[in-house]
Each structure stands twice: as C-alpha cells, then as structure tokens.
Amino acid sequence: MPFINPYNFVRPTRKPMPRLQGTTWERWQGRSGQLTCRLTNETPLLVPSGGSAAGAKEFYRLGNQLAIPGTSLKGAFRCVAETISGACSPFGKNGATDQVFGRCDNAEKLCPCCRLFGFMGNTVLRGRVCITDALLEDPSFRPTAPTVYLERIGGPKTTHTAFYCDENNQPRGRKFYWHSPEILTANEIRRSRRAAVEGGETLRPLVGSTPFVFHVRYNGLSDDELGLLLWTLFPGEEKRHKLGHGKGVGLGTIRVEPVEWQDQSAEQRYDQFEATAPSAPVTELLATVKRQFVRSRASQLGVPDADDLFLLNDDALADLGAILTPRTFKYLVQYPSYDWFKALSQKKLPTIADTLKGIGLPDRF
C-alpha cells in the first residue's frame, strides 16, 4: 500500500528576486508601519519551552501566560519568504559560486530576506522587520493541553541522499511539511507510555482553536519588499503555515489573519507623528499591495501576469502553493520505517506535483 512522506521539497524559482544593497535604519525611505495579526491553530500546536518536569515538552510561557516566541514565528515566515523570492539559504555556498541557494556574503548585494530580516557578514545590518511574541488574545482563556506520547522518529541520514538531493547531488529545494487533518490528530498520537520510554517523547500540545495575537513592525521597505512580507504572512484564504514541534505527525497547522494595519510613507513620517489610519478595510488595502507585487514578480520571472501569486508560471510558486494548502489524501501520510530506509536507501522521493497525482509513491513494508 503506498504512503506519502510527511514532508517534501519546493523546487527553486526560475529567477530569484534581485540582490541589492542593504539599507540601514537611519535612511528614512520607503514604507514603515505595523501589522496586527491573529494566529489560530487548526491542529494541535506545541511550541515547546526549554525544558519541564518529568521530561514532558510543555508549551512556552512568558511568566504565567502561554506565548509563542517571535523568533519561532520569524523562522517559519522567513522560510516562506525565502521560497517566494528565491533568497539565499544558510546551507548554500557563497553567492558567487551558487546561483540557486548562494548565501549572501556582501552587504552591497543582499537577497530580499537578508535585507528584511538582517544580515551578518562583512558588516552587520539590523533587520527591518520585527515580529513580536504572540500572546493569547484572551488572557483568561485556558486551552486544553492533554498529555500525549509520540513514538521515536529518526532524523536525516547521509546514507539516504536520494530523498534530499537531485541527480546532480544538489539540494532538491526547501523543505516543507504537508497539511492534512487526517495525518494524525491529538487522539491518534496517543501511545502507551512505553513509546516515550523507548526513545519517544511526552508532549502536551494545545488542542482546539487557540487564538494568539502578535505584531509585525517594519521600517523603510520598498513596495516589492512590503509585498513580499504581506504574501509571506497572508499567502491566501486556503493557505496555512506550519509552526512548532511535531510537524510531521500533523501538529502545527496555523491560520494567520490580518487584524489591523498602520502604514506610512517616508514623506508622511516627516509630516505626522502617528501612522496613517486605514482608509478602507484592511483586507482591501492588503490586496492592493499584494496585487502590485504579483505584477512585479511576474515581470521579474518573465511570465504572464496572474490573479494570484501561486498561479504564476514558476516551479517554486506552484510547489509552495500546493504544499501550503491543507488537503485530504487518498493514502496515509507517515514517516517511512527504519526497515524501509534500510532496504530502500536510494529510493527517490516523488516531487510535490507527482505526489498530488499519486505518481511514484513509495510502498509500505
């Protein structure tokens, strides 16, 4: 019986967004402001703290309140932004020798994500996007966090490069996890305590919808940079992000929605102390900037314009749009067993497109 691996790889874009000189904070240019966002989990969610009693992974807290660190949010969002823009990768070589995942090494020529989130190289540039910790929207809300047990899951092995590399032994792309309510629910990941004793984990994830609120502050962004940020945060009504622990077993599907937006141009910053109040519903304002970015990205790629970013003719955008969309699969989504890897160490992982068509799926033992 075939099965679907919990993760896959988004192929590189045909043409990355241009690498430009990094911008420092004292240059008052572009657009600045703040987005207030609501984050709600749609599957059990666990963003663990550093440690807890009895070895159980507990949800992170600020004082006595449940919270999600801004650094965790930044990591999840940056991965999406890197994929949309064709930005550098921490696993790439220096930019001059790797045109696909080349790591930025010069502040005079930075990818969009290093310009947005910060750069450490021949100089240090502070990021122009700041993401706060996410706090419970209702501090009095007490979400359910049952104890569950997760069986041991192995990590990547150098002996199984067929999963991670292409025929030229180059990285296949950026790693993302499928969304599906049928992968595993909180009830289904309950195991006997023996699972934890035998190398597994004891978890206490939040179950049920738990709304959090966080803020995204940005400074001096160009129109393209702002558009990239908005598509990253809000990829579409049907798209979702993955966050936290246990992504491969169904945890961590989250929905991010705009609540409020304050934005001002460089000229307005000199004319007034406060950001501009919205002149239309937030969703309409966001749609205008996002639409402008789609036109710009289509021009960069040299492809026809489209109504949606993920409809542009580009492998990276097609793959990313597919894997960010929750769906029901015909086959079980699960990790291969140790015995499977041992017997089929060079079995290739089907592409995202082939997986959706049911082509080349691996068989369970």
Q: Is the pLDDT of residue 239 over 90?
A: yes
Of the candidates 121, 184, 109, which has an alpha carbon nearest to the alpha carbon of residue 153?
184
CB 244 within 8 A of CB 45: yes
pLDDT for 350 equals 93
What the block records as the tokens of 160 is 């199984």
Rounded mean pLDDT, 309-317: 97
pLDDT, one tens digit per residue, over 256-281 is 999 999 987 655 655 555 555 555 67
pLDDT band at 184 (very low <50, low <70, confident <90, very high): low
pLDDT for 185 equals 45
Of residues 341 and 218, more confidence is placed in 218
pLDDT for 165 equals 84
Of the candidates 104, 102, 83, which has an alpha carbon nearest to the alpha carbon of residue 92?
102
Looking from the CA of 292 toward its CB, the CA atoms found within 13 Å total 14
pLDDT band at 93 (very low <50, low <70, confident <90, very high): low
Share of the chain above pLDDT 70, in %: 84
pLDDT, one tens digit per residue, over 108-138 is 999 999 999 999 888 889 999 999 999 999 9
pLDDT, one tens digit per residue, over 54-85 is 578 889 999 889 999 999 999 999 999 999 99
pLDDT for 96 equals 44
- Rg (C-alpha) for the chain, rounded Å, is 21
